[in-house]
Amino acid sequence: ESSPSIGKVRVKHRGILLTLKGTVIRSGGVKMIEGEREYQCRKCNHRFPCYPELEAGNRITLPASCPSMRSKGCQSASFQLIGDSITCHDYQEIKIQESVQLLDVGSIPRSMPVILMDDLVDLVKAGDDVIVTGILSAKWSSDVKDVRCNLDPMFIANYVRRTNELKSGIDIPEEIIKDFELFWAENRATPLEGRNKILKGICLLRFLGYSR
């Protein structure tokens, strides 16, 4: 597993497990995408699965001949789709951008489209800081006449976690919790005065920190 920054992801990282950190800047809607369908050879009745190519816009390419493993081989190229054999998955596209705080002055933050499927969809929203683990792949850009077709990077996730939750889930010592409970019990009748005491203490700490 490698953990490059989004701006340093290169061709050498394609096909290997990566962990990327960034902020969600765009979150698409949850869609349905085809994941598998089954065909049957019209000649020998052999059944075989076909899987859409996500890199090619989820297009299905049928084999040139029957993939039957029989010794003589069928060699037929006529197949029929088996009814009710299509399997679908939940699908969502998001885009994450590297943190501006980690960049050098004048650098432009880079972004990466991320594919979420099944139980990973709808776990994050725009503005969330996330850690995503998955495989770097690529998909063909849209066909435009007289324009060279390029491969656009995409990140197929198998794990995603919000770091916002990590920040809010910090363990607080039991004695600190008891001190706060006691403080607010003493200031229950005058909560505004209790708030002012906390603000005064924070300002005093900041002043002492700056004066050093």
Same domain, residue pair 46 and 75: yes
84 with 181, same domain?
no
Q: Is residue 96 in a domain?
A: yes
Pairwise CA distance, residues 113 & 106, whole Å:
23
Q: What pLDDT does 164 receive?
A: 74
pLDDT for residue 102: 67
Kindly state whether residues 196 and 123 are assigned to the same domain.
no
Domain assignment present for residue 150? The answer is: yes
What pLDDT, in 10s, does the model give residues 94-119? Answer: 898 887 766 666 678 888 889 898 88
Clarify whether residues 86 and 183 are in a common domain. no
Q: Which residue range(s) make up the domain with 115? A: 6-31+92-164
Local confidence band at 211 (pLDDT 50, 70, 90 cut-offs): very low
Query: Position of tokens 């010592």?
Result: 173
Confidence band (pLDDT; 50, 70, 90) for 166?
Answer: low
What are the backbone angles phi and psi of residue 126, rounded to the nearest 5°?
A: -60, 135
Instruction: Count up the domains in the chain and report the number.
Output: 3
